[in-house]
Amino acid sequence: MAASKLPVLPLPHPSVLLPGSRLTLPVTNEQPSPLPPTLTTLISRTAARLPAFCVSFVPPGRNSRQSYLLTLHGLARVRLLAPYVPDPENAFIPRDVQYAPNSKDVPSRKAVDTFKQSALRLLDRLARDSGQQIRRDGFHKISGMLEDITDARAAWIADILVSTVNASFADKLSILGTNDAEARLTLATEIFTKLVSISEVSTKIATQVEESVYKQQKEHFLRQQLAAIHKELQSLSSSSSGALVDGQSPSSELDDDEQHEADDMADLKRRIEAMEPGSEERKMGVREWRRLKRIPQGSVENGVIRSYLEWLTAIPWPNSTLEPPRTLQDRSFLTAARAQLDSDHFGLEKIKKRLIEYLAVVRLKEMNAERERLALAATAASQEAERQKALVIAKDSVADGDKAKAPPAPKSRPVRKSVKGPILLFVGPPGTGKTSLGQSVAKALDRPFQRISLGGVRDEGEIRGHRRTYVASGPGLIVQAMRKAGRCDPVLLLDEIDKIGGSNFHGDPSAALLEVLDPEQNHTFNDHYINVPIDLSQVLFICTANSLETISGPLLDRCEIVQLSGYTYDEKMHIARRFLLPKQLSANGMDSDHVQITEPALMTIATQYTREAGVRSLERAIGAVVRYKAVEWAEHVDAEQESQKNGDEDKSAVERRGQYNGVVEENQLEAILGIARWDGEEREREERRGVVYGLVVMGQGEGGILPVETIAVPGAGRLKLTGSLGEVIKESGEIALSWVKTHAYDLLITTSRAHDPLRVPELIDIHLHLPAGAQKKDGPSAGIAMVCAFVSLLTGARVPTNIAMTGEITLRGRVTPVGGIKEKVLGAHRAQITKVILPWANRKDVEHDVAIEIRSVMEFVFVRTVNEALVAAFGKNTLGWRNGPLLLESRL
């Protein structure tokens, strides 16, 4: 390593001079500024034998403010032996340096090849990215040189390339500090690869930005053009129509898009301004309005915000100025409510009584709340007066130079207290008037009524709305109903809450419903779309369900259950005459002069064309009859008019069609409604061995009869149960069979107490089936029916088909009470059962719930034990009791 002395010139940051490359710096006449020494590169044209770089000066032109240009040419690598300390006296004193040894090793082929590849790729990229032809040519020239270069010269060209390609300061420094040729090539390869990828990424980003800008510009440009075309067309059409209609241009509502757009926006703005100052909803409205103004019209985002604002401003937000309906304050409120309920519904006395109690509670609460409101308003008014007084004093004192503080303004939005009673839940079969009772309550309270159907709702979002990030998102059912109601205190009927889905991967709709119904939470109900807490505390919720089984415990907990059962035929007759027929007549443009349905005809419609607990099918059938008569009437009127037109001679048209007769008789029903659906069913119900009729309440809450069928088949002494039975009903079957087996000897089925009737005299299986297999059945109430069926099968005695029964049994042979007595008895009555066997403990239910007209036409036998049930079912002397039936007490 050769040592020498050379003068040192510090370069300004971030210049680095590499061997083989050139650097031009401006130099002023003044003293050089103390720039931080970056690299010690040596200078001397005269003093050194092996100079590190050559210099050339370009003197300034005539303008003396121009500086000299100093061009430096790098020659070799040298190391400064002592730290550089600038000497203010003499900037160019020679210092001790050491030349880097001349690397004799030729770098490996592989290193040279990869270096060349990376360098060529980089040069190619730079040439492509470069805007100037001259620079592009320069890069191509270097590429050409690079391809011809020898391996020994590769490291030399690496130095030149690194200083040419805009490498970073750190990279240039590390190249300068690496003397070994192979190491330098590897380093240069890394630098070039890095630069290529940086260039690729920045080109990509630049292209994307360019594209989006281009798109926006294009959209803007096209919109401008479109507007200009519209304008041009408008002026054309107005000038041409002006020529036609005396200077007046008829404008269609479809023409003036821009005007309507402006009107809509102004309307939206007005609605936001009308929101209560300082409220959450107003803040949100203002925020979104500002966003809307920033986003170009016609863009997707613009539409999304617009429809959000439409919703936000359409919700009836609680307002302190909203007056509660005066109806509640009226002294005759309860009498009027009673009259309303009576005018809308027949019967339902207990339910109406309960509703009147409910309305009385609502009224009391409202009156209390009103009193509190008045007291609050009085306090607020006196506070305001105080404030005004204080304000005047404060102003005076400010005028006097005294900086007294003005008293704070009172808080906005006084909260209106909730005035609702408990949440009512109407439970009962379809068509029993649950929805229409809700409507009557709303009418009585003089509030808007909205019905929300929850049947089949599986997605929480349907109740709570979907977040605005979803495509085509919108608010949930509650907010939709509130908007339609248009007031913050409507009556909302949540229909079919028993059909709402539970927790699944779409969330938990019933949990959302819980929040809606919970008075503790519903003053801040959160709809995901609206995203501002909504106060539902003024809403009166009424729920309906067909059965209570599928309603979750917490939901039931919040509700007060009001049970509606089916109607008797007698009630149906009244409802049909007083409500359904007049409703259908007016719906079909007829009146009672034109259609009269006779009493027997109406009864036939109710008994043979419909078999339901409610009156919906009955209403439909009556509607069909009325429509049929409406067609006849219309034809008759046409024929009359025709004859009048043709003069009196031509009466044949009317005669041809016959005279119109508005009376509907029983014998015309088949022509109008078709063959009766239930006719003859009773005849099918023939007495059979092993078949007994039980009483059930079905999924819709409707009572009816269900045959319990048994047969004996060759087998292994087992019981087989079919008919989509649940666990409880299966166990009931086992208990019934065990009881029969235990008493087989007493019932003369076997000849010894030790014999099993399923094994002696023959080995058999008993198959018990409950038809209507598609319907899931469960519950213990078929116990006595099963015992009777087994006894009938094994003894051959039969139970008459006019008898039906229900009751749970214990292993000791006791009959215990069951539920749904009213529905079951009504169902039995509809099915023309005349004798019903029921548990003794259910006497009170019959007494309280079953209408007197039903009790008077049906026989009720209340039994305490299975023995009594058997006597009631088979008759006193049918079964051959070994020791007399009443002596038979269970031995268990």
Does 433 belong to an annotated binding site?
A: yes
Give the shortest CB-650-to-ligand ATP separation in angstroms: 44
Please list every residue from 579 through 598 that binds ligand ATP, using CB under 6 A: 579
* Tokens read off for 577: 């005459």
Under the binding rule (CB under 6 A), the answer on residue 4 touching ligand ATP is no
Residue nearest to ligand ATP (CB): 433
Judged by CB under 6 A, the stretch of 424-432, 532-540, 634-642, 667-675 that binds ligand ATP is 424-432
860 forms bridges with which residues in the sheet? 836
Q: Which is nearer to ligand ATP, 407 or 623 (CB)?
A: 623
Given candidates 320, 436, 503, 652, which one binds ligand ATP under the rule CB under 6 A?
436
In whole angstroms, what is the distance from residue 463 CA to residue 485 CA?
16
Q: Do the Cβ atoms of 394 and 404 come closer than 8 Å?
A: yes
Does 434 belong to an annotated binding site?
A: yes
In whole angstroms, what is the distance from residue 97 CA to residue 9 CA?
13
Applying CB under 6 A, what is the total number of residues that bind ligand ATP? 20
Residues 6+ positions from 878 with CB-CB distance below 8 Å: 797
Comparing C-alpha atoms, which of 65, 80, 64, 73 is closest to residue 3? Answer: 80
Give the shortest CB-516-to-ligand ATP separation in angstroms: 19
Give the shortest CB-566-to-ligand ATP separation in angstroms: 10
* Tokens read off for 450: 């909205």
Q: What HEC string does 538-575 produce? A: CCEEEEEECCCCCCCHHHHHCEEEEECCCCCHHHHHHH
Give the shortest CB-571-to-ligand ATP separation in angstroms: 7
Pattern 371-410, binding to ligand ATP, x per CB under 6 A?
Answer: ----------------------------------------
* Tokens read off for 588: 């079909």
Q: Any idea which residue has 């930005």 for tokens?
A: 209
Under the binding rule (CB under 6 A), the answer on residue 499 touching ligand ATP is no
Does 430 belong to an annotated binding site?
A: yes
Q: Which is nearer to ligand ATP, 180 or 342 (CB)?
A: 342
- Burial of 535 (C-beta count, 10 Å sphere; 0-12/13-18/19+): middle
Under the binding rule (CB under 6 A), the answer on residue 430 touching ligand ATP is yes
Comparing C-alpha atoms, which of 258, 250, 119, 286 is closest to residue 189? Answer: 119
In whole angstroms, what is the distance from residue 809 CA to residue 869 CA?
10
Q: Which is nearer to ligand ATP, 704 or 733 (CB)?
A: 704
405 is catalytic: no
Q: What HEC string does 388-415 produce? A: HHHHHHHHHHHHCCCCCCCCCCCCCCCC
DSSP class per residue in 332-348: THHHHHHHHHHHH-SS-
* Tokens read off for 598: 């006779």
Judged by CB under 6 A, the stretch of 293-301, 431-439, 465-473, 846-854 that binds ligand ATP is 431-439
User: Which candidate in 565, 643, 781, 792 is catalytic?
Assistant: 781
CA angle in degrees (0–180, nearest 5) for 212-215-220? 130
Does 429 belong to an annotated binding site?
A: yes
Under the binding rule (CB under 6 A), the answer on residue 566 touching ligand ATP is no
Phi (first) and psi of residue 444, to 5 degrees: -60, -35
**816 DSSP 8-state letter:** E
Does 771 belong to an annotated binding site?
A: no
Q: Which is nearer to ligand ATP, 448 or 662 (CB)?
A: 448
Residues 6+ positions from 425 with CB-CB distance below 8 Å: 497, 542, 543, 544, 545, 556, 559, 560, 561, 562
Give the shortest CB-431-to-ligand ATP separation in angstroms: 4
Does 325 belong to an annotated binding site?
A: no
Under the binding rule (CB under 6 A), the answer on residue 51 touching ligand ATP is no
Q: Which is nearer to ligand ATP, 317 or 567 (CB)?
A: 567
Q: Which is nearer to ligand ATP, 346 or 449 (CB)?
A: 346
Parallel, antiparallel, or unpaired: how do β-strands 803-805 and 691-697 relate? parallel
Phi (first) and psi of residue 54, to 5 degrees: -100, 155
Pattern 761-800, binding to ligand ATP, x per CB under 6 A?
Answer: ----------------------------------------
Q: Which is nearer to ligand ATP, 539 or 562 (CB)?
A: 562
Judged by CB under 6 A, the stretch of 2-10, 430-438, 621-629, 689-697 that binds ligand ATP is 430-438
Does 177 belong to an annotated binding site?
A: no
Question: What is the gyration radius of the CA atoms in the chain, in angstroms?
Answer: 49
Under the binding rule (CB under 6 A), the answer on residue 572 touching ligand ATP is no
Q: Which is nearer to ligand ATP, 602 or 799 (CB)?
A: 602
Please list every residue from 542 through 561 that binds ligand ATP, using CB under 6 A: 544, 546
Q: Which is nearer to ligand ATP, 474 or 623 (CB)?
A: 623
Comparing C-alpha atoms, which of 552, 393, 524, 547 is closest to residue 464? Answer: 524
Give the shortest CB-580-to-ligand ATP separation in angstroms: 7
In whole angstroms, what is the distance from residue 590 CA to residue 632 CA?
12
Report the b/e string of 84-120 with b at 16+ CB within 10 A.
eeeeeeeeeebbebebbeeeeeebeeebbebbbebbe
In whole angstroms, what is the distance from residue 374 CA to residue 372 CA?
5
Give the shortest CB-323-to-ligand ATP separation in angstroms: 30
Given candidates 153, 558, 616, 651, which one binds ligand ATP under the rule CB under 6 A?
616
Give the shortest CB-628-to-ligand ATP separation in angstroms: 20
**Other residues' Cβ atoms within 10 Å of the Cβ of residue 583:** 15
Under the binding rule (CB under 6 A), the answer on residue 854 touching ligand ATP is no
Does 501 belong to an annotated binding site?
A: no
Pattern 505-544, binding to ligand ATP, x per CB under 6 A?
Answer: ---------------------------------------x
Please list every residue from 52 through 81 that binds ligand ATP, using CB under 6 A: none
Comparing C-alpha atoms, which of 721, 725, 676, 722 is closest to residue 696? Answer: 725
Give the shortest CB-344-to-ligand ATP separation in angstroms: 7
Give the shortest CB-615-to-ligand ATP separation in angstroms: 5
Under the binding rule (CB under 6 A), the answer on residue 636 touching ligand ATP is no
Q: Which is nearer to ligand ATP, 10 or 433 (CB)?
A: 433
Please list every residue from 5 through 44 that binds ligand ATP, using CB under 6 A: none
Q: Which is nearer to ligand ATP, 539 or 575 (CB)?
A: 575
User: Which candidate in 116, 172, 443, 824 is catalytic?
Assistant: 824
Give the shortest CB-576-to-ligand ATP separation in angstroms: 9
Q: Do the Cβ atoms of 766 and 790 come closer than 8 Å?
A: yes
Please list every residue from 304 through 363 that binds ligand ATP, using CB under 6 A: 345-348
Parallel, antiparallel, or unpaired: how do β-strands 859-863 and 691-697 relate? unpaired
Q: Which is nearer to ligand ATP, 580 or 691 (CB)?
A: 580
Please list every residue from 796 through 835 that binds ligand ATP, using CB under 6 A: none
Rounded-to-10 torsion of CA 36, 38, 44, 49? 140
* Tokens read off for 603: 């009864």
* Tokens read off for 793: 């099968």
824 is catalytic: yes
**Other residues' Cβ atoms within 10 Å of the Cβ of residue 751:** 11
Under the binding rule (CB under 6 A), the answer on residue 615 touching ligand ATP is yes
Given candidates 77, 172, 416, 434, which one binds ligand ATP under the rule CB under 6 A?
434
Q: How far apart are the first and last CA of the chain?
A: 119
DSSP class per residue in 675-700: S-SSTTHHHH----TTEEEEEEE-TT
* Tokens read off for 771: 């038809």
Under the binding rule (CB under 6 A), the answer on residue 432 touching ligand ATP is yes
Given candidates 318, 431, 783, 820, which one binds ligand ATP under the rule CB under 6 A?
431
> Residue positions in the annotated binding site?
428-435
Residues that bind ligand ATP (CB under 6 A): 345-348, 430-436, 495, 544, 546, 575, 579, 614-616, 619
Q: What are the residue numbers of the active site? A: 781, 824
> Residue positions in the annotated binding site for ATP?
428-435
